[in-house]
Structure 1
Amino acid sequence: MSNDNKHNFEPVYNDLNLRIIFLITLMAVLGVASITPAFPKISNELKIQANSVGLLIIIFTLPGIILTPVLGVMADRFGRKKVIIPSLILFGLAGTGCFFVRDFNHLLVLRFFQGVGAASIGSLNITLIGDIYEKKERTNAMGYNASLISIATASYPVIGGILASIAWYYPFALPVFALPIAFIVFFKLNNPEPVVRPELKKYFKNIFGSIKTKAALLYFFSSLVTFILLYGSFLTYFPFLLNEKFNASPLGIGVLMSTMSIVTGITSSQLGRLTDRYSKKTLLKISFLLYTIALVLFPQIETIWLLIIPTAIFGSAQGINIPSVQILLTEIASLEHRAAFMSFNGMVLRLGQTLGPLIMGGMFIFIGIDATFYTGGVIAILNFILLVTFL
């Protein structure tokens, strides 16, 4: 945390800067979690095949694969605020524009531009935590931020399900909140900006020197796998499993999906205590065992309320995994190139978010919906073996 002594006598979650970062985080997870309960309804009303609805995620995450590291470099060179404020504005305008269209192709165009706005949001919020806080406060701040992500991803499907029950396009009104948040960031966020700007050759040498270490590569690959599982098996095809197997309503889908996020929030809020007993590397390994168990269980359950069990296990894995990886990565990078370094992780996340629906969509088409979960289980256990072997 900053050296201001007043912060030493109060919990980190009371700091205004962290609360503003929380607002950014709320937008970072809004783009997907709020609309997935509407997918079956979008498929029916717009006459779109189930596997094609996943394009709403793919087209949203695709810009981040290219733009996230570029925007990270810009944030290191020109300042965090100069990147994140325009990003929030574009996210808000394009996202809200989706509310007004009734054509799937037009929807995809607006989702693309919303994805351009979202490209920096999900990495620069983590960068800001790494910039402002240190040591135990950084661990706690990351844990609280992950908890907030979980609360948001628990709430957004319920909110999205309620709104989608009115009309499929109502969940697309939610991004409008990004606009006032951009003004709050401009006027109220007090964050350190990089002062030393090394020449570009040295700057990129430092970045790539950090990225190509064995530990960093394993963390990045784990992030990739995590978001393939989350966006492929869970967020895209879990709603269809519920709809096809149990005839669940959009609201019912949202409520059950929120169970995962609630458990994630509870788990990640205890990250400080968990890291007192276990190393972050050990927690990371355990998380992929939990993913495997959950994903194998999903298609085997025949009673809808029993799905709470694998959903909670999946949520526990998320709560352990995501903040642990974020902390481990911020510890590797220095302030001068942290935004680019964390944005590379953001690019990896976007790649996972894009590949997940594609991979699982292929399994859905050629084998069936159960295969989208069994494939995820195989991927998770392979990553566990990789971490145990090399980390």
Structure 2
Amino acid sequence: MEEKQGRVAMIAITFIPLVMVLGNSMLVPVLPTMKSKLDLSQFQVSLIITMFSLSAGLIIPLVGYLSDRFGRKWIIVGSLVIYGIGGIISGLSAWLMENSYIMILIGRIVQGIGAAGTAPIAMALIGDLYSGEQESKALGIIESSNGAGKILSPIIGSVIALITWYAVFFTFPILCFATAIFIWFSVKEKKKMEGKPLPEYLGALKQIFKQKGKWLIPAFFVGSVGLFILFGVLFYLSDVLEQRLKIEGVIKGCILAIPLLGMVVTAYLTGTKIKQNKPLIRKVMVMGLMLLTGSMFVVSFFQQVYLMIGLLTLGSIGTGLLLPCLNTLITGAVEKAERGMITSLYGSVRFLGVAFGPPLFSWLMSISHKTVFLSMAGLSLFTLILAFFLIKPDKSEKKETGGKQQLGTLF
């Protein structure tokens, strides 16, 4: 009976990262249509992604602390409800209001606040419910869900937009409320949380960064840059496909899924191979940044769409090599009791990377194609140098359990 309950709980938890991924990725193919329908500038439409990710990034550390104090399930269920309400606000505004842009942004901010308590807290919940081999297996399952969401979300968004462009917003409450109900009735937390009081919590965090900040802070920055470039590239590619090539609908969604597929498959394979081999982890991380840098540099000289998609996919493969390595190093840097703090902060800076990608790409796009990608090549080269010289965790650091490496592509 307990085994059956465990399987049902795992299925419920699997939906959490899927819902979070849909928050941005499902909207990417709709953005050019939204720009046209609402008569927005490139920068204004980029804020549809940015405000979601920015609000999530700012709230994640607080939500992580609250989940330590009051329990994971309460926070996850409440966050999913808030997430769904945000979708309703944006959807009704787009449907019923003539000048709906500001209310859509408010709805996206509410959604971001809700998203902060989804996948990052699900990672901590799995650590609470499972251990050893079961924990590794559970993390692998939610990674598969996360990866499937990344690949399918542009296609799903394109299909739903065939009804009307704002129909996507109404998809969120359906998914969020259903998942919240499923989590509430199927997941049983093992024990009452005994989180630290806030001063003690902040003191422990300060101590971690005092001991390991020399490499931990650069690692946070490099992970943020990887997602900054990824979502900036998707934003750019979506605009090129619709505005320049007049490719819309499901075909457009399928094309946008190609770079994501490259990243997800690579990240999954990397996560299964690197284990705790830190020399190998550093080599793979550097290889990923070299591939990302090279692809950004080469694509700056070409605008032929199929070649560009191929080169951008190579860059995404580089990101797929990078992220699981960073995740393994970061989650392995602290004891399990303190891991919630670090994963929350790491999730926060990754969301901030996603937040700033579209608006900065929008500004660079107004200059030239070459400016966009030479800038990204320079940024990626800087992170490569940073990673090579500064991300060198103590070889004596070991993890409590295996399998955490497969969390690398959550964002």
Decide: shared fold, TM above 0.5.
yes
Unaligned runs of 5+ in 2: 95-99, 392-411
Residues 190 and 306 (structure 1), Cα distance of their counterparts in 2 relative to 1, 3 Å cut = farther
- For residue 298 of structure 1, report the CA deviation from its aligned partner: 3.7
1:266 maps to 265
User: Which residues of 2 match residues 137-148 of structure 1 at below 5 A?
Assistant: 141-148=138-145
> Does 2:387 align with 1:387?
yes
1:90-129 alignment runs, 5 A limit: 90-102=82-94, 103-129=100-126
Q: Which residue of 2 aligns with 1:33?
A: 25
Q: Do the aligned partners of residues 177 and 6 (structure 1) sit closer, same or farther apart at CA in structure 2, a change above 3 Å counting?
A: closer
Aligned-partner residue type, residue 254 of structure 1: G
Residues 131, 320 of structure 1: CA spacing in aligned structure 2 closer, same or farther, 3 A cutoff? farther
Give the secondary structure class of the aligned counterpart of 1:168. coil
Q: Residues 72-96 of structure 1, C-alpha deviation per residue, up to 9 Å, x if partnerless?
A: 1111111111211100111012113
Question: How far did 1:30 drift?
Answer: 0.9
Query: Structure 2 counterpart of 1:271, which letter?
Result: T
* Aligned with residue 66 of structure 1, among 51, 58, 71: 58
CA distance in 1, matches of 2:192, 2:329: 21
Shift of 1:195: 4.7
SS of aligned partner of 1:165:
coil
Cα distance in structure 1, aligned partners of 2:216 and 2:20 = 23
The residue number in structure 2 matching 1:254 is: 253
Structure-2 residue corresponding to 1:159: 156
User: 1:376–1:149: structure 2 CA closer, same or farther, 3 Å change rule?
Assistant: farther
1:5-20 matches, cutoff 5 A: 15-20=7-12
Q: Distance in 2 between matches of 1:36 and 1:53?
A: 10
Shift of 1:15: 4.9
The alignment status of 1:377 with 2:377, answered yes or no, reads yes
CA shift in 2, pair 1:135/1:39, >3 Å: same
Does the 8 Å CA contact 2:32/2:243 hold for their aligned counterparts?
A: no
Q: Counterparts of 1:275 and 1:131 in 2: how far apart (Å)?
A: 24
Per the alignment, residue 313 of structure 1 pairs with 314
Whether the 8 Å CA contact 1:223–1:325 is kept in 2: the answer is yes
Q: Distance in 1 between matches of 2:152 and 2:45?
A: 22
- The equivalent of 1:333 in structure 2 is 334
- What amino acid maps onto 1:252 in structure 2? I
| Distance in 2 separating the partners of 1:105 and 1:218 | 35
- Counterpart of 1:348 in structure 2 is 349
Spell out, residue by residue over 1:26-71, the C-alpha distance to the aligned partner (whole angstroms, 9 max, x if none).
Answer: 0111111001101111111111112210010111122223211111
Structure 2 CA distance for partners of 1:100 and 1:358, relative to 1, 3 Å: same
With 55-64 and 272-281 compared, the bigger mean Cα shift is at 272-281
Q: String of CA shifts for 1:121-168, please: whole Å, max 9, x gaps.
A: 232123334444556765665455344323212111011112223321
Shift of 1:17: 4.3
Are residues 111 and 158 of structure 1, via their aligned partners in 2, closer, same or farther at CA, if it must alter by over 3 Å?
same
* Counterpart Cα distance in 2 of 1:306 and 1:136: 42
Q: Distance in 2 between matches of 1:193 and 1:99?
A: 39
CA shift, 1:23, in A, is 0.6
Instruction: Report the Cα offset of residue 262 of structure 1.
Output: 1.9
Q: Aligned ranges for residues 287-306 of structure 1 at < 5 Å?
A: 287-306=288-307
- 1:180 lines up with 2:178 in the alignment: yes
* Identity in percent: 23
Asked if structure 1 preserves the Cα contact closer than 8 Å seen for 2:27 and 2:154, the reply is yes
Report if the CA contact (8 A) 2:30-2:161 is conserved.
yes
2:103 is matched by which residue type in structure 1? Answer: H
Q: Paired residues, what number?
A: 380
* Equivalent residue in structure 2 for 1:206, among 179, 190, 204: 204
Q: Describe the shift of the 1:282–1:155 C-alpha distance in structure 2 as closer, same or farther (beyond 3 A).
A: same
SS at match of 1:235: helix
AA matched with 1:183: I
Query: C-alpha root-mean-square deviation of aligned residues, in Å?
Result: 2.7
SS in 2 for 1:236: helix
Match of 1:234 in 2: 233
* Residue of structure 2 equivalent to 1:10: none
Q: Is the 8 A contact 2:55 2:113 kept in 1?
A: yes
Tell me which amino acid in the other structure corresponds to 1:187.
F
Q: Which residue of 1 aligns with 2:394?
A: none
Look up the equivalent residue of 2:67 and give its one-letter code. A
Which amino acid is the alignment partner of residue 358 of structure 1? P
Residues 172, 210 of structure 1: CA spacing in aligned structure 2 closer, same or farther, 3 A cutoff? Answer: same
| Alpha-carbon distance in 2 for matches of 1:203, 1:131 | 18
Distance (Å, rounded) in 2 between the aligned partners of 1:191 and 1:332: 26
Alpha-carbon separation, structure 1, partners of 2:315 and 2:190: 36
**Closer, same or farther: CA 149–104 of 1 in aligned 2, 3 Å:** same
* Structure 1 segments unaligned to the other structure (5+ residues): 8-13
TM-score w.r.t. length of structure 2: 0.83
Structure 1's 287 and 125: CA in aligned 2 closer, same or farther, altered over 3 A? farther
